[in-house]
Amino acid sequence: MPIARHFLGWDEPGLVRAVAWLRARFGREGVLDLGEVMIVVPARRAGRRLLELLAMGADDLVLIPPRIVTQGELPEQLYKPKGKVAGDLLALLARAHGLRRADPEVLRVVVHDPPGPGAGAEDLSGWLALAQDLGRLDAELAGQGVAVGQVAQRCAAEMDFTDQPRWEALGQLQALYEATLAQVGYITRDAARRAAVEGQCCAIPGGLGASGGPREIVLLATLDLNRVTRDMLMQVSEGATQITALVQAPESAAAGFDDMGCLNVEHWHEARLNIPMERVRIADRPRDQAYEVLRCLEEITADQGPTPGRAKGKAEARSSKSEIRIQSKIPNSKSEICVAHGLELAADQITVGMGDEAQAPMVQRTLELAGVPARAAVGRRLALSRPALFLASWARWLASDRFDDFAALLRHPDVEAYLATTLAEADDGVHDWLSLLDCYVSEHLQGRLAHHWLGESKRQARLKGVHDALAALAPADHARGRPLPQWSQAIADALGRLYGGEPLRRGDEQEAQIIRALELIGQVLREQAALEPSSPIVPEVTLAQAVNVALSQLAEVELPRQGGPPAVELLGWLELHLDDAPVLIVTGVNEGAIPQSVNADAFLPDHVRRVLGLTDNRHRYARDMAMLTAMLHSREHVRLITGRRGAEGDPLVPSRLLLACEDAELPQRMQRFYGEHAGEAQRQAPLLLEPGDDRFVIPLPSCRSPLVKLRVTAFRDYLACPYRFYLRHVCRLEALDDRAVEMDGLAFGNLAHSVLEAFGHSDVAASPDEQAIAHALQSMLEEARQRQYGGNPPAAVLIQCEQLRERLDRLARWQAQQNREGWRIGRQGVERDLSAVLEVDGEPFTITGRIDRVDVHEVHGHRILDYKTGDTAMTPEQRHRTGSKHAKRWVDLQLPLYTLLAASAGMAGPFGLGYVQLPKDLGREVLDEAPWGEEEVASAIEEARRIIRLIRRGVFWPPTEAVADEFAALCMDEALDRAQRIAAQTRGLVSAAAREGEP
């Protein structure tokens, strides 16, 4: 029987009208019986929402639900395959197997640099990725009834086609793939569909009605059915199955649709869409679009008041928790508008459409900060779920055994929880493994994990405990090749150990996502386990490769969002035309997003798509025109937001749909978008905090007199910034990471000091022989390098050691000369930790430090020297004092305070002070002596007393000007109003001190 069309009209959302039509057609004798109906929807969300509306719209009728399938799932409902059809995994492995055995010259015609052998094992991931790309290409062509091998001939007949050799090569690879599957007794899904169409075998398998399949198929707003699906439906319609196409348009728009309810591209491509300009908003950047969503909500609710519910029965389902109360202070270009509306509009009566889905997190967060509950209804990619991210990190570490991959795995939150439980059972539980690892990597720069751990023994044992706990997740022979299905249980066991401790709760949104991800991963692992290990297309892989095979199958899978309390839903553009929310706000209405344009494709550029009948840019424009027309007609409250610039500041173009107006209106619309004041950047709206509740402040110091001891080098920190001194020395904060790939300045200096300490204690330190000193320094450098960085350090470390060797050779020449002049390195003063008590206002304060070396001369006495290894040398005067000649002030007290430490150790003064310079410039003088006399040294000690008094009083405020260091964020260095914030906090501190009677 012929396919019937029914036009739902535009006066209500399509789903609402579809439910009314289904009730009128199938509701009888107290029952809404849809048990013999198959409803085809464009996407899963539309199917879920349809079922909700059917349940709400059934009222007093007993609902027997229909079978709801997506248009992608429909073909497999319309035939019974003759032969075994390969599943996704088997098809992927067969295609990859064929590619690996293809003629290399044929492969190079298709891809310039195909995957190949590497490091003793084939690049399996590369072959799988190429197989997936070719599989997607084959599926798109097959959907339109085009075989890969036919492309060259069809294109050459209709256009000037220069890519014929490449498509001929693709045809050979496709034939090889199909032959590979045939060898193991399978056919492709597309071949099965093609055979069903060609053999006139399309029908609903199992019969009709209660004893078999559905009696009727309803196509609900399926605008884009491909040619093969249409051919199959036509054959089914010739039998006893009734097919009805529900078209989301009035009958007056019938010319825009074919007999199956699909698009008439030419009609919609030439159609006009006179969008009222009051429905269009222009914003500057993505964040301004997010603010504009709030403004649109305020405008709609202020002007219109309460909005009717989505569907019958919806209003009764509302609760006070679902109502939106927007209380925000949103600035515009003229003045600040304070809005406080108590609304009856339920949150789930609002939908925000995302032309660019990457903006969804920003829009969601903006709504939530304004007190509007929001939920991204677009499914999150399974690859971004916690179990999948764990598997990806785990596989990288197993394959590389690198420290950076090990550290990335440790940072996974579920690994942290697993380790916290596992290591807590040990006698010496490790709780700070991330800091432990960061310190280890920074100090030893060990690129790969090794059996030999470096550093002190206690830390070695703790790190080994962390490493062994993670290593226990994989079998010891994980790097040995096995048939793919033999690894499925090992992967499942690792996930079981990681997530099997505490029961996961389906009621918790995050844990429910983990459960769903684990279920889908389990399905893939079962599919892998079911493979025949001896099959020629089943590869032998390591555990890491087996994990990557599983992840490759899940790359495009999405996890549906959990339901929950009523919330504004954020939907992708293609979901909007069947959404039934009465308020619709669409962001990102820009060319390239709405309508989407694909102007570059490795295999199918737009002009080739048009010749082959595939979805091209004209088709996408027509589809989006039809969808937007339906949205605008079926709702009173629609707002379209277009941006002028992208996230990186790149200019954007307004959607052609906004310009599909009458010619006379076009100049005005273009002027509005490109005019001087169009879409000006909005000042950020303080959406979250009530007045006076600004939490974006610099944390104030809270400790009064915490220190009774201080290193001499720390006084420089206080003089530079009292607040950063507080963070570093009172709170003991420091920045740690594992990103080091070479020695930083501190590590380079520590290595040099290690060598020079050993040299100072050696007998050769007093030798006048330059060669003997140089040889000893080189030997000590090699020993220190081996001790610190192991036997196989990174290349960068070897280069830096060579640079240090050159500097030490320069030092050897100078040291030999000093020895000949009668100077000797005092053994008691080499890298010696010393302390001294400084009386301040009658109370003792301990200062500590490590003096690099103290030289002794029979005539000249003692001189205290500090090694400096920075690339650019600074003199003691430059480093310790600043200002004009007659107004010097101290910025560092290290060398002057060394005199107190030396005196406390029993050394007799006066002391000379200076630097032994080991800079990049090898021509520079080695010795830099400080030009200070006793009076200047005494002034430095008095400055130390002043600082100690301030520390005792707890004076750690205010922060000084912005400094590029690890505390920049805490100190709000990038805040535009930083000075005003600090001034306000300072006034608060002064007021608090005055109330307590303090100066």
CA distances in angstroms from 280 to 171, 642, 654, listed in the order given:
48, 8, 11
* 3-class secondary-structure state, position 475: coil
**Spatial distance between the Cα atoms of 215 and 28, rounded to a whole number of angstroms:** 17
What DSSP character marks residue 651?
A: B
Mean pLDDT across the stretch 48-59? 90
Instruction: Report which secondary-structure segment, H or E, holds 179.
Output: helix 164-183
Strand partners, 331: 336
Instruction: Report which secondary-structure segment, H or E, holds 947.
Output: helix 934-952
Q: What is the predicted pLDDT for the residue at 433?
A: 67
What are the tens digits of pLDDT across the range 612-635? 999 999 999 999 999 999 999 998
CA-nearest of 20, 11, 1 to 220 is 20
**Spatial distance between the Cα atoms of 879 and 986, rounded to a whole number of angstroms:** 30
Model confidence band, residue 326 (pLDDT cutoffs 50, 70, 90): very low
**Spatial distance between the Cα atoms of 44 and 806, rounded to a whole number of angstroms:** 69
Work out the burial of residue 663: count CB atoms within 10 Å of its CB; fewer than 13 is exposed, 13-18 middle, 19 or more buried: exposed
What are the tens digits of pLDDT across the range 883-897? 988 889 999 999 999
Angle at the Cα of 644 (from 638 to 646), degrees rounded to 5?
105
Mean pLDDT across the stretch 189-193? 94
| Of residues 925 and 435, more confidently modeled | 925
**Spatial distance between the Cα atoms of 124 and 103, rounded to a whole number of angstroms:** 17
ω into 165 cis (within 30 of 0): no
Q: What is the predicted pLDDT for the residue at 122?
A: 60
Question: Is pLDDT at 308 greater than 70 in this prediction?
Answer: no
b/e code 59-83 from CB counts within 10 Å (16+ = b): eebebebbbbbebeebbbbbbebee
What are the tens digits of pLDDT across the range 914-945? 999 999 999 999 999 999 999 999 999 999 99
Q: What is the predicted pLDDT for the residue at 793?
A: 86
Question: Token match 């997936």: residue?
Answer: 132
b/e code 578-613 from CB counts within 10 Å (16+ = b): bbbbbbbbbbbbbbbbbbbeeeeeebbebebbbbbe
Contact 623, 594 (CB under 8 A): no
Q: What is the predicted pLDDT for the residue at 330?
A: 34
Contact 676, 645 (CB under 8 A): no
Alpha helix ranges (H) inside 790-893: 795-820, 876-880
Model confidence band, residue 209 (pLDDT cutoffs 50, 70, 90): low
**Spatial distance between the Cα atoms of 270 and 281, rounded to a whole number of angstroms:** 25
DSSP state letters, 854-882: EEEETTTEEEEEEEE--SS---HHHHHEE
CA-nearest of 955, 964, 960, 966 to 993 is 955
Q: Would you tell me the crossing angle of helices 88-100 and 543-554 to the nearest 10 degrees?
A: 120
What are the tens digits of pLDDT across the range 965-975? 888 888 888 77
Model confidence band, residue 998 (pLDDT cutoffs 50, 70, 90): low
| Of residues 147 and 985, more confidently modeled | 147
Question: Is pLDDT at 639 greater than 80 in this prediction?
Answer: yes
How many CB atoms neighbour CB 870 within 10 A?
A: 14
Question: Is pLDDT at 10 greater than 60 in this prediction?
Answer: yes
**Spatial distance between the Cα atoms of 912 and 916, rounded to a whole number of angstroms:** 13
Q: What are phi and psi of 94, to 5 degrees?
A: -65, -40
Residue 182 in tokens: 């045939």
**Beta strand extents in 71-130 (DSSP E only):** 117-118, 121-122
Longest CA–CA span in the chain (Å) reads 120
Question: Is pLDDT at 586 greater than 80 in this prediction?
Answer: yes
Average pLDDT over the chain reads 86
Contact 374, 564 (CB under 8 A): no
**Spatial distance between the Cα atoms of 528 and 487, rounded to a whole number of angstroms:** 9
Percent of the chain with pLDDT over 70: 89
